[in-house]
């Protein structure tokens, strides 16, 4: 059974919804998320984030045991304590997983926010900052369903100012789609 079928089978009782934040580097996606997540969690929502990194990254500390295990060739290293656990999976030349495969690895929550992955076909709120000097994504990306910005934008899409966290959180919740719909879009477009 592949990860898509496995995830589709686990969905049911409480629907897990997915919404993305997309925008150019420097637009303020991470800063916005650090303001929106507390707003959502204070309202009783369980929130998870999948963040795309465009470069190599490491969550481990060079020289620590877990780092040494990975350097020695372990495919995965799971580190656990009384406060958290983390699973590090080495791709070792394999292709980067697509969004549905990553969604399948998450525990069930109310809302998954995807930061980045702007080429994937999920729904997204575009984060746009005028000072960045970059063009808007939404005219060319049919997945953009709303815009959080610090400037006026001529569009029929819902918009909210970057400082209006309540409006952005509401837009994200209204625009989020079920994980099954994300999987269906990925199958049809992937």
The mean pLDDT of 110-119, rounded to a whole number, is 90
pTM of the model: 0.85
pLDDT digits (tens, 9 = 90+) for 141-176: 899 999 999 999 999 999 999 999 999 999 999 999
Q: Where are the domains of the chain?
A: 3-57+96-189
Residues in Cβ contact with 149 at an 8 Å cutoff, skipping those fewer than 6 apart: 126, 127, 128, 129, 130, 159, 160, 161, 162
pLDDT at 187: 63
Q: Is 46 helix (H, G, I), strand (E, B) or coil?
A: coil
| Structure tokens belonging to residue 9 | 């089978």
pLDDT digits (tens, 9 = 90+) for 100-112: 889 988 999 999 9
Per-residue pLDDT at 13 exceeds 90: no
Per-residue pLDDT at 38 exceeds 60: yes
pLDDT band at 133; cut points 50, 70, 90: very high
pLDDT at 6: 43
Sign of torsion, CA 142 126 3 77?
Answer: positive
| Structure tokens belonging to residue 13 | 């009782």
CATH class of 3-57+96-189: alpha beta
% of the chain surpassing 70 pLDDT: 90
């Amino acid at each position: 059974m592949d990860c898509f079928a496995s995830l589709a089978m686990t969905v049911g009782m409480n629907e897990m919804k997915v919404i993305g934040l997309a925008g150019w580097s420097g637009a303020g996606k991470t800063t916005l998320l650090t303001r929106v997540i507390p707003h959502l969690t204070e309202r009783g929502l369980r929130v998870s984030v999948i963040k795309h990194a465009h470069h190599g990254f490491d969550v481990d500390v060079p020289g620590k045991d877990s780092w040494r295990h990975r350097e020695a060739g372990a495919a995965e290293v799971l580190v656990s304590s009384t406060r958290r656990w983390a699973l590090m999976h080495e791709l070792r030349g394999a292709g980067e997983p697509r969004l549905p495969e990553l969604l399948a690895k998450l525990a069930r929550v109310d809302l998954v926010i995807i930061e980045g992955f702007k080429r994937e076909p999920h729904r997204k709120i575009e984060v746009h900052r005028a000072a960045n000097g970059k063009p808007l994504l939404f005219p060319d990306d049919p997945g953009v369903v709303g815009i959080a910005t610090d400037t006026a934008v001529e569009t029929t899409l819902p918009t909210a100012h970057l400082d209006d966290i309540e409006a952005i959180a509401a837009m994200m919740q209204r625009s989020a789609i079920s994980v099954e719909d994300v999987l269906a879009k990925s199958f049809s477009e992937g």
